Amino acid sequence: MLGIPNPPRPILTLTSDFGLADTYVAAMKAAILRFAPEAMLVDITHEIPPQDVVAASFAVERALDAFAPGTIHLAVVDPGVGTQRRILVVEMHRQLVVCPDNGLITWAWRRLRKGKAHKLDWRPKTSSNTFHGRDIMAPSAAMLAAGRALREIASPIRDPILLEIRPARPPVRIGRIIHVDHFGNATTNVPRDALPKTVRISVKNQPLGPLKRTYSDVPAGQPLALIGSAYLLEIAVRNGSAAKNLSLKVGDPVRIFGASD
Amino acid sequence: MLGIPNPPRPILTLTSDFGLADTYVAAMKAAILRFAPEAMLVDITHEIPPQDVVAASFAVERALDAFAPGTIHLAVVDPGVGTQRRILVVEMHRQLVVCPDNGLITWAWRRLRKGKAHKLDWRPKTSSNTFHGRDIMAPSAAMLAAGRALREIASPIRDPILLEIRPARPPVRIGRIIHVDHFGNATTNVPRDALPKTVRISVKNQPLGPLKRTYSDVPAGQPLALIGSAYLLEIAVRNGSAAKNLSLKVGDPVRIFGASD
Amino acid sequence: MLGIPNPPRPILTLTSDFGLADTYVAAMKAAILRFAPEAMLVDITHEIPPQDVVAASFAVERALDAFAPGTIHLAVVDPGVGTQRRILVVEMHRQLVVCPDNGLITWAWRRLRKGKAHKLDWRPKTSSNTFHGRDIMAPSAAMLAAGRALREIASPIRDPILLEIRPARPPVRIGRIIHVDHFGNATTNVPRDALPKTVRISVKNQPLGPLKRTYSDVPAGQPLALIGSAYLLEIAVRNGSAAKNLSLKVGDPVRIFGASD
């Protein structure tokens, strides 16, 4: 692995659309622990909406941003399981991501840049046709966590599948909501760095004025625009749900007005 | 423990109907870590429907199938807490299960076979009357994980309580749905090995034709029958919910027609 | 840390209102593991209702009661994030709690007693204005878990913010429901020790008679009063939901009649 350190207790994260009611997440963990018994397992989330590759894409970028070099990320949202779709191993931020080649890597690829993509060549002797997360991807991620060289199980490729989602670039007039969180805060695809110093924001024809610094800068129940913890433009309601109060959902536009508008 | 290895970092899994909103799961983990500070804890699921011993039974079998020899499984769905019902320790697959003697072990007992049942003799000096998972079962599971001999805390029995659920045996004409997962896939009690080579499946009077290999073998939105990741007959809808589209629920029959029907 | 031991693998627990669908919990764990790579992480719950400081207060007391000396508890329900509100580090039960100074410590402070409060002085070089859990509290908790002396990052204070919730003291005539759990059991603020030997309980004008020992002391579907696993007076329905059957919610009164009433 080019410059990727091997910590004594490797961290391996898991992201999926499996939910927590079934035993599928545990099945992947069992497979991992057979190959990497010393691994530290951390769940990113397993509540990605079923088959929502785009939502998983945002979660994986957050995981890459948060964790230290050497971390291995396993992300399984895999509607094409059992077909000939490739499986990726992507080097990025001195970490590795193992995931299906279905666009799941897109947001990290475009926001964090400098990814190096590989296709996974390793396959087990036998595997199910419906759970490659358990039978192929988890063992591969675990082998990498246990120190196996990437080149032994994967080969470089130049064309991972990428979806039509990308961080906004200046000058930004319209952003798009890409995620609505548990609190009802709506995150957009507009990075802090893509905004001019002076802006006014509006959403659903409701003017929110200039960016605020934090939620408490407006009275309880009032909407605001601010830079969220992912350093993206976010729409929120103090002590409330912007998604509910303003009827916001993924894909909705957010308008940005500069000083001269 | 007869042939059960003691790994340096023992794995201890947890299954319950406690949900994740309360502090009960953490209370069991705290109790475990007092007796087995080196244990690796893995949640199987805590979203077993309240008091649903049958659902827990399927989860525990999946856990036994997935994990390596030496793993200890703690499973607490315990409507009889505080009564004189026994507590079991079952050896199976070179692993151990600690659970109430209320039928929870049934599916593993019948599908994986060759279980050896014991009743737990160990009791703490004091305990609550409403949370034996925390006060009795978690410490016992942890002691076993930390290397304590099974015979020191439990005695062999021959009659664990078993429920009326069992894997179908050939010739199978009717299977039963035993689990509906997060995606709406419906798993039956019919093992792959119990099916003849050529079959046609129908459910709710809807013919699904022969077994498919994987979800993508039918168009999106279409129902299919296939062998799922537990190597049981499964009813699914590609990119959709079989449970919703076909109104399937636990207990519903699935019809199996052989070549001669 | 006055008398607080430093175990070889420190335990660090997490409590929040973040839910499990987003990546926020994982972001805190990533921050912790950068400062305390050997830590054992245990989730208490992340399903505290959004901004519900009182509910978090009960969860933290349960965590302090359950875990061994030396455990560090991180609790983040933080509607005042980004403002000048203080951050606390509280020593209690030979453990430490890191949380915002917004009343979250109240129930533990009053039920377990003998807390020593400190305000956190440590701040990172840069931090977001909306996620101090990740940027300030998680690193601080991790530093403490890794053995850093409390006095190096915090200073004693005498006035942590406390809310109007407290354990009932004898003679108790009316208790209050403080938590409704996943099963629909309703826990009150009445400790076992505050009750006389002979009592009768009623709720919503329904007499429940004297305390029962465990759920199975009444027929299925019947309500009862008993001492729950937190050693508080609890209202339950055997194999059912007291919250649903009796329409109970947090704040509702429970009446206690002594021998002489």
> What does C166-220 look like in DSSP terms, one character per residue?
----SSPSEEEEEEE-TTS-EEEEEEGGGS-SSEEEEETTEEEESPBSSGGGS-T
Q: Among A184, A173, A167, A171, which residue's Cα sits nearest to residue A231?
A: A167
Strands C40-45 and C11-16: parallel
At A24, phi and psi to the nearest 5? -70, -40
Mean pLDDT of A230-247: 97
Enumerate neighbours of A (3 or more CB pairs within 8 A): B, C
Cβ of residue B34 closer than 8 Å to a chain C Cβ: yes
From CA A79, how far away is CA A203, in angstroms rounded? 33
**Element (DSSP H or E) covering residue A132:** helix A132-132
Q: How far is B84 from chain A (nearest CA, A)?
A: 30
Least reliable range by pLDDT among A2-6, A124-128, B229-233, C22-26: A2-6
CB interface of B with A, residues 187-226, below 8 Å? 213-217, 226
Q: Among C183, C182, C199, which residue's Cα sits nearest to residue C233?
A: C199
- C228 contacts in chain B (CB < 8 Å): 128, 130-131
Of the pLDDT bands very low, low, confident and very high (cuts 50, 70, 90), residue C261 is confident
The answer to whether the CB atoms of B37 and C9 lie below 8 A apart is yes
Residue spans of alpha helices (H) in C21-137: 24-35, 53-66, 106-112, 132
Size of interface A-B (CB pairs under 8 A): 88
Residue in chain A closest to C30 (alpha carbons) equals A67
For A69, other C-beta atoms within 10 Å of its C-beta total: 11
Mean pLDDT of C153-159: 97
Mean pLDDT of C97-101: 98
From CA B56, how far away is CA B104, in angstroms rounded? 6
The percent of residues in chain A predicted with pLDDT above 70, rounded, is 97
From CA A80, how far away is CA A51, in angstroms rounded? 9
The answer to whether the CB atoms of B9 and A79 lie below 8 A apart is no
From CA C144, how far away is CA C163, in angstroms rounded? 27
Measured between alpha carbons, how far is residue B6 from residues A34, B34, C31 in Å?
A: 14, 18, 33
DSSP for B152-215 reads: HHEEE-S-----S-----SSPSEEEEEEE-TTS-EEEEEEGGGS-SSEEEEETTEEEESPBSSG
Residue in chain B closest to A83 (alpha carbons) equals B216
Q: Is the peptide bond before A171 cis (omega within 30 degrees of 0)?
A: yes
Asked if residue C1 has pLDDT above 60, the reply is no
- C79 contacts in chain A (CB < 8 Å): 215-216, 239
Residue in chain C closest to B25 (alpha carbons) equals C44
Residue found under tokens 């005042």: C80
Cβ of residue A183 closer than 8 Å to a chain C Cβ: yes
Q: Among B68, B78, B79, B74, which residue's Cα sits nearest to residue B90?
A: B74
Helix B138-145 / helix B24-35 crossing angle, nearest 10 deg: 40
The answer to whether the CB atoms of B216 and A31 lie below 8 A apart is no
Measured between alpha carbons, how far is residue C249 from residues C179, C201, C235 in Å?
A: 8, 17, 11
The answer to whether the CB atoms of B128 and C228 lie below 8 A apart is yes
At C90, phi and psi to the nearest 5? -115, 130
From CA C146, how far away is CA B252, in angstroms rounded? 54
- C34 contacts in chain A (CB < 8 Å): 68
The answer to whether the CB atoms of B50 and C182 lie below 8 A apart is yes
Of the pLDDT bands very low, low, confident and very high (cuts 50, 70, 90), residue C113 is very high
CB contact set of B254 (below 8 Å; sequence gap of 6+): B174, B175, B176, B177, B186, B188, B190, B201, B202, B203, B225, B233, B235
In this structure, which amino acid lies at residue C229?
A: S
Of the pLDDT bands very low, low, confident and very high (cuts 50, 70, 90), residue A4 is low
From CA A44, how far away is CA A254, in angstroms rounded? 27
From CA A256, how far away is CA A169, in angstroms rounded? 12
Residue in chain A closest to B187 (alpha carbons) equals A22
Cβ of residue B24 closer than 8 Å to a chain C Cβ: yes
Of the pLDDT bands very low, low, confident and very high (cuts 50, 70, 90), residue C259 is confident
Say which DSSP state A216 is in. Answer: G
Asked if residue C6 has pLDDT above 70, the reply is no
For C110, other C-beta atoms within 10 Å of its C-beta total: 17
Asked if residue C2 has pLDDT above 50, the reply is no
Q: Among B252, B130, B229, which residue's Cα sits nearest to residue B183?
A: B229
- Out of A20, A23, A34, name the one closest to residue B63 (CB): A23
Of the pLDDT bands very low, low, confident and very high (cuts 50, 70, 90), residue C260 is confident
Tell whether the torsion through CA atoms of B37, B39, B42 and B48 is positive or negative: negative
Residue in chain A closest to C49 (alpha carbons) equals A183
In this structure, which amino acid lies at residue C36?
A: A
Of the pLDDT bands very low, low, confident and very high (cuts 50, 70, 90), residue C4 is low
Q: How far is C126 from chain B (nearest CA, A)?
A: 33
Cβ of residue B124 closer than 8 Å to a chain C Cβ: no
At C205, phi and psi to the nearest 5? 65, 10
From CA B176, how far away is CA B234, in angstroms rounded? 10
From CA C28, how far away is CA B184, in angstroms rounded? 32
Enumerate neighbours of C (3 or more CB pairs within 8 A): A, B
The answer to whether the CB atoms of C11 and B26 lie below 8 A apart is no
Edge-to-edge strand ranges of the sheet holding C253-258: C206-209, C199-203, C253-258, C174-180, C186-191, C232-237, C223-227
Cβ of residue A163 closer than 8 Å to a chain C Cβ: no
- pTM for this predicted structure: 0.96
Q: How far is B140 from chain C (nearest CA, A)?
A: 16
- B232 contacts in chain A (CB < 8 Å): none
Mean pLDDT of C31-48: 97
The partner residues of B236 in beta bridges, in order of sequence, read B224
Cβ of residue A42 closer than 8 Å to a chain C Cβ: yes
Interface with B, mutate which of A11, A23, A131 (most B CBs under 10 A): A23
Q: b/e for B194-232, b at 16 or more Cβ within 10 A?
A: bbeeebbbbbeeeebeebbebbbebeeebbbbbbbbbeb
Cβ of residue A22 closer than 8 Å to a chain B Cβ: yes
The answer to whether the CB atoms of A130 and B181 lie below 8 A apart is no
Cβ of residue C21 closer than 8 Å to a chain A Cβ: yes
Cβ of residue C128 closer than 8 Å to a chain A Cβ: yes
End-to-end CA distance of chain B: 49
Q: How far is C170 from chain A (nearest CA, A)?
A: 37
From CA B19, how far away is CA C237, in angstroms rounded? 18
Q: Are B10 and B72 in contact, with CB atoms under 8 Å apart?
A: yes
Give the model's pLDDT for residue C78: 95
Mean pLDDT of A78-86: 92
Measured between alpha carbons, how far is residue B53 from residues A199, B81, B214, C160, C250 in Å?
A: 58, 13, 30, 45, 29
- Out of A40, A216, A229, name the one closest to residue C128 (CB): A229
The answer to whether the CB atoms of C22 and A182 lie below 8 A apart is yes
Task: Please list the rounded mean pLDDT of every run of 10 residues in chain B (261 residues).
Answer: 65 98 98 96 98 97 98 96 94 97 98 96 95 98 96 97 96 96 97 94 96 95 96 96 97 92 74
Q: Quick one: CA torsion of B9, B10, B16, B20, rounded to 10 degrees? A: 0
Give the model's pLDDT for residue B5: 65
Cβ of residue C42 closer than 8 Å to a chain B Cβ: yes
The answer to whether the CB atoms of A128 and B231 lie below 8 A apart is yes
Asked if residue C47 has pLDDT above 60, the reply is yes
Q: What is the ipTM of this complex?
A: 0.96
Q: How far is A20 from chain B (nearest CA, A)?
A: 6
Of the pLDDT bands very low, low, confident and very high (cuts 50, 70, 90), residue A133 is very high
B19 three-state secondary structure: coil
From CA C188, how far away is CA C204, in angstroms rounded? 14
Q: How far is A24 from chain B (nearest CA, A)?
A: 8
The partner residues of B116 in beta bridges, in order of sequence, read B91
